A and B are shown apart, each in its own frame.
Chain A
Amino acid sequence: MIRVRNLTKTFKSFTAVKGISFDVEQGEIFAFLGPNGAGKTTTIKMLTTMLNPSSGAIELDGIDTVRHQMAARKKFGIVFQDPSLDDQQTAYENMELHGILYGMPRKLRIERIEELLTLFELWDRRKDFVKQFSGGMKRRLEIARGLLHMPKIFFLDEPTLGLDPQSRSQLWTHVKYLNEAENTTIFLTTHYMDEAERVAHRIAIIDHGELIAQGTAAELKAQTETDSLEGAFLALTGTSLREESANSNEQMREVAQMLGSSR
C-alpha cells in the first residue's frame, strides 16, 4: 500500500533523510519511530506530498506521489502533529469543508459526517465552535475529519501528544477499530513506546535519517536482547539527548537560518 524506495531529502548541505526504503502492506498498522530530529516528520511530509523528495520514489496504492500528486492526495488522510482545525468554525463546518475539498458527493458526505461524529462522540457538539473544544475533542475531530473521505491510508503524526491517558487510550481503540472495520492502512509516529507496542503490527526505527531497524515489536526485542520496546529503542538509538525545537515549522526555520537561506 505504501512503497518507499531510496527516499532522500536534502536541505542545502544537510541531509534529513538518507535513502530509506520500506513497504507497508494493506491493512497494516505501521509505527515509524525515532528520536527528535531523526527525520520522521520530513519523511511524513514527503509521503503526504507536502515536501518534494530530493530523490527516490514513493507510491501510495500504486500511485507515484510526485508525478500524480492530486490522485495520491485522494488516497490518504492525515492528522498533523500540530493542530490544523479552523477553530472559528463549528465542528460540522470543519467536516463539511473537508468533504467538499475532497469532492465527496453531497449525500455520502452528509451520511459519513454523521457516522464519524457519532463514532467519535462529537455529534451532540457538532454546532459548537471548535475554539470551545478541549484538546482531546479537537484531536478526535481531526481524526474524524481525516477519515471522512474514506482514505485507504491514514497518517497519524504523534496523534496523542498532550492528551490525557483516557483520551489516548480511547484514541487508539478507535484507530484499531477503523483499521479492522474499514481495513485502513495506518502509518503512525509516536514517542510513546507502549502505544506503538500495543497497536502496531510492524515497527520501523529511523535515526540520523537512516532506517536502523524494522520488524514486529517481538523481533526488535529479540534482536536487541531487551524485554521492552522502549529498551530495544534505546539500545538501537542510544541514550544521548537530541535537540529539537517546539514544532516542525520552528525546526525548518532554524535549519534554514542555520544554512543562511532567506526562505
Chain B
Amino acid sequence: MNAIYILWLREVKRYVRSRVQIIFSLAQPTFYLLAFGFGFGPVFEKAGEGSYLQFLAPGVVGMTVLLSSMFSGIAVLWDRQFGFLKETLVAPVPRIYIMIGRTLGGATIGMVQGALILLVCMIAGFRPQHWISLVSAFGFVAMIAIPFAALGVTLGSMIKDMEGLNLASNFLVMPMFFLSGALYPLSHLSTVLSMITHIDPLSYGVDGLRGTLVGVWHFSYSLDSFLLCSLAAIFLTTGAYFFSRIEI
C-alpha cells in the first residue's frame, strides 16, 4: 500500500513542479473552447439549440481529462528512457502495485487538469445548472481519468519508442474526441456515424459530464457510469498484465 502511495505521490509531485506542462496542456483545450465555442456559437443558437458554450464546455472538460490521463503512458516511457523504471521493477513490490500507483497518479493529474479547465470554462462564461452538480460531475471526471490513465500505462508498457507511442496516442485520442459528442449533439446523426459514436467510450464520459453539469442526457447516468467503470476494470487488468511482462 505504501508503495502505491509513494509512486502516486511521485507522479503528482512531478506534475506540480512542471508549471510548463500545466499551462501548455491547458492551452489546447482552452483554444478549442474559445475557437469552437465562439466560432460555432451563433450557428448553434440559430438552429435553436441554445448556448453552444454551455453545450461545448463539458466536452472540452472530457477531452482535457482524456488527454492528461493518457499522458501517464508517456511517463512510463520517459522512466524507461531515463532508467528509473528499472529501479521500480527490481523492487520487492508486486508489479500490479507499481502499475496501480502510476495509474492513480496519472488519473489524479487528469482530474486536476479537468478541474482547472472547468474553471477556465466558467471564466469564459459557462454556468453549471447548480453548484452541487459540480460534485457529481467530478465523479465522471474520475470515471474518465482512471480508465484512460490505465490505457496510457498499458500503451507505455507495450510500446518502447516515443514516436510510436505518440502516434498511437494521437491515433486513439483524436477520433475519440471528435466522435464523442463533445462538439455536436449525438441525436439526428446518420446510422453509421451514430454507431461509431456509440462504441466510442468518451461518448459516455462526455454524456455524463454534460448530464450532470447542464442537465442534458443522451444516454443515462446509470449507463454512463456502468460502462466507464467496466472500462476501468478492463484497462486496469490489461495494463497490469502488460506491465508485469516488461523486461529490461
Chain A residues within 8 Å of B, Cβ to Cβ? 45, 48-51, 70-71, 73-74, 78, 80, 82-89, 93, 96-98, 100-103, 145, 249, 253
Minimum Cβ distance to chain A for residue B112 (Å):
18
Identity of the chain B residue whose Cβ is nearest the Cβ of A48 in the assembled complex: B90
With known contacts A97-B6, A100-B3, A70–B92 Cβ distance under 8 A:
yes
The yes or no answer to B248 lying at the interface (CB within 8 A) is: yes
Identity of the chain B residue whose Cβ is nearest the Cβ of A51 in the assembled complex: B247
The yes or no answer to B13 lying at the interface (CB within 8 A) is: yes
Contact of A80 among B79, B86, B91 (CB under 8 A): B86
With known contacts A85-B83, A86-B84, A249-B248, A97–B10 Cβ distance under 8 A:
yes
Contact of A73 among B17, B82, B92 (CB under 8 A): B92
B82 near A50: Cβ-Cβ < 8 Å: no
Chain A residue numbers with a CB within 8 Å of B10 are 86, 89, 93, 97
Nearest 5 Cβ contacts at the A-B interface: A84-B83, A73-B92, A101-B91, A100-B6, A86-B84
B91 near A49: Cβ-Cβ < 8 Å: no
Minimum Cβ distance to chain B for residue A248 (Å):
8
Chain A residue numbers with a CB within 8 Å of B3 are 100-101, 103
Which B34-90 residues have a C-beta within 8 angstroms of A? 79, 82-90
Chain A residue numbers with a CB within 8 Å of B82 are 83, 86-87
A101 near B93: Cβ-Cβ < 8 Å: yes
Chain B residue numbers with a CB within 8 Å of A249 are 248
Which B86-114 residues have a C-beta within 8 angstroms of A? 86-94
* Interface bracket on B: 20 to 34
A101 and B90 CA atoms in complex are apart in Å by: 10
Given A78-B90, A84-B83, A84-B86, 11 further pairs, Cβ under 8 A: A50-B86, A50-B89, A70-B92, A74-B92, A80-B83, A83-B82, A84-B87, A88-B17, A89-B14, A93-B10, A101-B91
A103 near B83: Cβ-Cβ < 8 Å: no
Chain B residue numbers with a CB within 8 Å of A97 are 6-7, 10
Identity of the chain A residue whose Cβ is nearest the Cβ of B84 in the assembled complex: A86
Chain B residue numbers with a CB within 8 Å of A70 are 92-94
A87 and B7 CA atoms in complex are apart in Å by: 15
A98 near B87: Cβ-Cβ < 8 Å: yes
With known contacts A84-B84, A89-B10, A50–B247 Cβ distance under 8 A:
yes
Number of A-B contacts (CB under 8 A): 70
Chain B residues within 8 Å of A, Cβ to Cβ? 2-3, 5-7, 10, 13-14, 17-18, 79, 82-94, 160, 247-248
Minimum Cβ distance to chain A for residue B157 (Å):
12
Chain A residue numbers with a CB within 8 Å of B91 are 73, 98, 101-102
Minimum Cβ distance to chain A for residue B7 (Å):
8
With known contacts A51-B247, A86-B10, A89-B13, A101–B88 Cβ distance under 8 A:
yes
Chain A residue numbers with a CB within 8 Å of B248 are 45, 50, 249
Identity of the chain B residue whose Cβ is nearest the Cβ of A87 in the assembled complex: B82
Identity of the chain B residue whose Cβ is nearest the Cβ of A100 in the assembled complex: B6
Contact of B2 among A50, A89, A103 (CB under 8 A): A103
Minimum Cβ distance to chain A for residue B240 (Å):
16
B17 near A50: Cβ-Cβ < 8 Å: no
Identity of the chain A residue whose Cβ is nearest the Cβ of B3 in the assembled complex: A101
A74 and B87 CA atoms in complex are apart in Å by: 13
The winner among B5, B88, B89, B248 for most chain A CB atoms within 10 A is B248
B14 near A49: Cβ-Cβ < 8 Å: no
